[in-house]
Chain A
Amino acid sequence: MLLEFVDVAKVYQGGTRGVDGVTMRLGPGLVGLLGPNGAGKSSLMRIAATVTRPTSGQVLFDGADAVARPNLLRRNLGYLPQDFGVYPHLSAREFLSYLAAVKGMPARTARTRIGELLELLDVAGAGRRPLGTYSGGMLRRVGIAQALLTDPRVLIVDEPTAGLDPEQRVAFRNLLGDLAGDRVVLLSTHIVSDVESVASDIAIMNNGRLQIRGSPEDLLRQAQGRVWEMTVPPGALAQLRERHRVSRMVRTSAGVRVRLLAPAPPGAEAVPAPPDLEDAYLMIIHRSRGPAAGETAEARQ
């Protein structure tokens, strides 16, 4: 089972390139697609879900052209869009029954499956309440339930943790990790912690392009020797942020403990720190935008 993007591009009216020449092969397992807002993740997800046609390039599912003949992929697809919506006056059971019918599931199988999914996702108690009364987290769980209705071989989830509280995000991440197994799961997010615990394969997009793809270790290597920690007085913070990419700050009684990215020690008191995935992500994103003012100045010196 393989989902492939071959030089896929999407150009919107006005010439904006939402996706710009993405080539990627996805096999069984969870791939985390990271990138800032506007990086082109959702455009790529919509193309993968056959909702949008690419301007150029190919999407292949098990070798078959999914752009010209999308139904093979659609029969094996579960899709949770970023702006997932519902009919607010239907209950979860009614809404899922409707989608199950549209997806071609027999009524009896659908009833059993809906019951299982509502139990699994902890919404069974509210299954008969109108969806308009659900919280954001509950709606997201209904969203993942609809994506899993047909037990799909390809699961595409776009920013699934938006609007969830920290506990729900952890539960959701774990669920996606469990689901990965022998299916293709493409998880798009701009929150690094959403993928670092569950994805063994991470792709980073920016400006419509795929910047890098690899294991978390591959990404961490990119930031090796470039992460520093130091404590500075609060007054020096602004100057430091102008010169370097600050990835984290903690205010302490001794000043502000800063974690930053720099090719060389940013000060005498700076100590090297082991990079984490967020450092690597920030470095790759900012490298793709071009060097920061401070980095340029350092390069000139």
Chain B
Amino acid sequence: MRVRVLSALAVADFRERTRRPAYLVTLAAAVALGYLALPPAASLWVIMNAGGYRGIYNSAYVGTATALAGGLWLMLGGFYVVRGAIARDQHTGVGQILAATP
């Protein structure tokens, strides 16, 4: 498959998915989880615990913890957002048009 066709597929798919409400919900949840990954020092829970020690809230630690928590959610939640591309083409009828192209 040529690069232009592949990139057109990717762009259309990206646009279609990122304009759905489910995408915004997933994104908001990722941001919220990233926030929760940095509990106040006095709280009873931590995200990363290394032998009873917790990280100091500097930019490196905050970045790592936020990215890990958000990234984990994006993988789990994002799977449900991007799955079913073929089923979608079947359901919408676009698949028939694609099937009739070279």
- A98–B100 CB distance below 8 A: no
Q: How far is the CB of B90 from the nearest CB of chain A, in Å?
A: 9
Q: Does A130 count as interface, using CB distance less than 8 angstroms? A: yes
Bound form: Cα–Cα A71–B16 in Å: 28
Q: Does A129 count as interface, using CB distance less than 8 angstroms? A: no
Q: Does B51 count as interface, using CB distance less than 8 angstroms? A: no
Q: Does A49 count as interface, using CB distance less than 8 angstroms? A: yes
- Chain B residues near A146: list those with CB within 8 A: 97
- A90–B16 CB distance below 8 A: yes
Q: Does B19 count as interface, using CB distance less than 8 angstroms? A: yes
Instruction: Give A82-97 as 1s and 0s: 1 = Cβ < 8 Å from B's Cβ atoms.
Output: 0111111110001101
Q: How far is the CB of A73 from the nearest CB of chain B, in Å?
A: 9
- Chain B interface SS verdict (over half): helix
- Of listed A50, A84, A95, A101, residue having the most chain B CB within 10 A: A101
- A50–B12 CB distance below 8 A: no
Bound form: Cα–Cα A74–B91 in Å: 22
Q: Which of the residues A86, A98, A130 comes within 8 Å of B11, measured between beta carbons?
A: A98
**Contacts of A96-136 to chain B: CB distance below 8 A:** 97-99, 101-104, 107, 130
Instruction: Give A47-81 as 1s and 0s: 1 = Cβ < 8 Å from B's Cβ atoms.
Output: 00111000000000000000000010011010101
- B101–A89 CB distance below 8 A: no
Given known contacts A81-B96, A89-B19, A130-B19, A74 and B101 CB-to-CB distance under 8 angstroms = yes
- B99–A50 CB distance below 8 A: yes
Q: Does A46 count as interface, using CB distance less than 8 angstroms? A: yes
- A87–B8 CB distance below 8 A: no
Binding site for A on B (CB under 8 A): 2, 4-5, 7-9, 11-12, 15-16, 19-20, 91-94, 96-102
A-B residue pairs, 6 tightest by C-beta: A85-B93, A101-B8, A85-B92, A89-B19, A98-B12, A79-B100
Taking A85-B92, A98-B9, A103-B101 as known contacts, 20 extra A-B pairs with beta carbons closer than 8 A to each other, sorted by chain A number, are A71-B102, A74-B102, A77-B100, A85-B91, A85-B93, A86-B92, A86-B94, A89-B15, A90-B15, A90-B16, A94-B15, A97-B8, A98-B8, A101-B4, A101-B8, A101-B9, A102-B5, A102-B98, A103-B102, A146-B97
